[in-house]
Amino acid sequence: SFPRVAVLVGSLRAGSVNRRLARALAALAADRLAFAFVEIGDLPLYNDDLWTDAGGPAPVERFKAQVAAADAVLLVTPEYNRAVPGLLGNALDWGSRPQGKSSWAGKAAACIGASPGAIGTAAAQVHLKAQMVTLGMIVMGHPEFYLSFKPEDFGPDGTVVNDQTAAFMNAYADAFARHVARLSSGK
């Protein structure tokens, strides 16, 4: 079976270009990687008081179990005000706790993102990659994936109709599959 990749999308909107991108990448990579989309919209805003002796709130426990079951993590981030949306930061915060039980330490990971703007989430990803490294994720730094999203490049069924974009996404999936394999072989 293929390595499992937990996918976190930092947008809740129905028409999210980042979700469309993530779905398209999942389809392109399906013969190498098994993407599992993990819900983060039901996580409460981080509050230390919500931890009890029994653990965290139910969505948090579900979230951490889904990440634990995955071999790797893919963060798909929009760019909000040159930074990462609070939604995604909130999920990273929940995953980082309780102390000593972080969901992130040692996980193979990468981030990608799309925006209608010219720099395609590059500014947000600078922040995000620094945070991912600090969280102990083993981050794939190269290739980088910044997409200036053009709706006409993606078909209604989620396929990528721009050949250049499809080729880039395929190469990215190959690189990430190699990154994940390299880390699992060292286990």
How many CA atoms lie less than 13 Å away from 114 in the CB half-sphere? Answer: 23
Taking the C-alpha atoms of residue 70 and residue 79, their distance in angstroms, rounded to an integer, is 25
Shortest Å, Cβ 51 to ligand FNR: 29
The yes or no reply on residue 103 touching ligand FNR (CB under 6 A) is no
Residues 116-155 close enough to bind ligand FNR by CB under 6 A: 116-117
Residue 182 parent element (H or E): helix 163-185
The yes or no reply on residue 37 touching ligand FNR (CB under 6 A) is no
Contact present, 79 and 113 (Cβ < 8 Å): yes
Q: In the beta sheet, which residues pair with residue 5?
A: 35, 72
Contact present, 66 and 72 (Cβ < 8 Å): no
Shorter beta-carbon distance to ligand FNR: residue 50 or 119: 119
Shortest Å, Cβ 49 to ligand FNR: 28
Contact present, 108 and 179 (Cβ < 8 Å): yes
Taking the C-alpha atoms of residue 58 and residue 121, their distance in angstroms, rounded to an integer, is 31
The yes or no reply on residue 79 touching ligand FNR (CB under 6 A) is yes
Shorter beta-carbon distance to ligand FNR: residue 82 or 182: 82
Taking the C-alpha atoms of residue 33 and residue 52, their distance in angstroms, rounded to an integer, is 36
Name the segment binding ligand FNR (CB under 6 A); options: 12-20, 87-95, 130-138, 179-187: 12-20
Shorter beta-carbon distance to ligand FNR: residue 37 or 80: 80
The yes or no reply on residue 23 touching ligand FNR (CB under 6 A) is no
Contact present, 135 and 92 (Cβ < 8 Å): yes
Strand stretches in the chain, DSSP E: 4-9, 34-37, 72-76, 108-115, 138-139, 146-148
The yes or no reply on residue 89 touching ligand FNR (CB under 6 A) is no
- Of the candidate residues 5, 17, 92, 110, the single one contacting ligand FNR (CB under 6 A): 17
The yes or no reply on residue 187 touching ligand FNR (CB under 6 A) is no
Residues 55-74 close enough to bind ligand FNR by CB under 6 A: none
The yes or no reply on residue 41 touching ligand FNR (CB under 6 A) is no
- Positions touching ligand FNR (CB under 6 A) are 11, 13, 16-18, 78-82, 115-117
